[in-house]
Structure 1
Amino acid sequence: MECTTEDCQNFTSTYLCTRCVSDLQQWLSKIPVLLEEIGTTIAKLDNVRPAGGGGGGGAKPGSAAPINLDALQLAQNLSSVGTDAKAYAHDERAAGLAWLIQDWVTKAELLVSGPEAEHINHVAIRARVQNIAPPMPTRTLLPWLRANAKITITAFDIRNWARRGKLVAVDREPQPTYHPHEVLNAWHDTRATQLATSPKN
């Protein structure tokens, strides 16, 4: 049968093909470190004291502890996730679960590290790429983008953007191909949305 991941089309004996299992394992491998770091975000340790030192006798009786509830929910979500991607491959809901795990990890990374400084001129890169880069299949596209556009995305990103209509394949046979500049547009739009909607610590 075909892998159940949207737009994958690899044949497999389980619900996720070997490539998608490998992609998912990369996301799962990030979770233990994120769970350690997100504790600081949950407690909002950098915001416990008022600006200027606070002074004057501590918290008022009955006042609520400063807690980032969004970070707490993400920590609970990530704590419920298994560590073995191969185990997910036998679940008929595997494709949807993989997408959900990626979404949780991405949001947790934003909460932990905050917005990254924008040192790269992505607008200029997209304009240059549009003129030089032909459509490519995902397997070729991902390393090409790492080398030429200085961004790292996964096959899950590509398939998710295609499923949501942010990307349209140029050709579908023998496998889908995408214009690199359109992938860059999807990445930039997604990143901007995530930063705009990410809860502030």
Structure 2
Amino acid sequence: MNTCGTIDCEAEAQDKYLCGKHTRYLQTELNKIPELLEDLFITMAKLDHTAPQRSEGGGGLSTGSAMPLRYGALELRQALGLWTHSNAEKLAQDHRAGNFLPMLSKLISDATDCIDNPPEVRVITTCRCGGQVVTEEPKPEDGKPDTGNCEICDEYYEQTAAMTRFRIHRATPEALRTRDAIKWIRDNAGISIKSTDIWNWQREGKITPTNRQEGSREHPTYNVADILKAHYLNVEKNRRATNF
């Protein structure tokens, strides 16, 4: 005669390893799986196209592809799928049966949380292949890397603030006059910055002309990365509104 293998249960299980009560509980959990698998698929694929798209022309939203695959939902769906054709009476005959109920209950709880509160998918950088590097993890604390995988080639990236600044400096022009810098930023970053902003940031010492050693008649030129850095600092401090 066996005793129920569930923690804190000493009921008789006869020739099995789960008592009748916990076998019924296990079957109740198993019955939840088919519907959860469907809900997890919807969450996993994010089929509702709710991702914010970049504004084009008249300001409307473009109709692009759905948000990237949610790997947390995918993993939970795969784990629950292993239980799909299971039967509690048969599982109760396994000597490990006492662990099955808490194990399955935890999976179901995690799946329910994933469906009710789908994670935010953040884009942290652009991959060398042109795809977006995405993550479901929250933004890390200052100084810690932001990590993610490319949604196209799955390449892994670690992105830090220092690396981002280096990439911006390397990719942006270093000596453009005010009006040319404004046009470059508008065309390439989709951000509208006014000439008065640049003049004010120079006056406040936030940016410095790259040709300040030349004659006074020369139009000042600026490193575009310096302008963008000043812009983002002012946005974060809510010191000015931005036009996108």
TM-score by length of 1: 0.50
Quick check: which has more Rg, 1 or 2? Answer: 2
Where relative contact order (Cα < 8 A, 6+ residues apart) is larger, the structure is 1
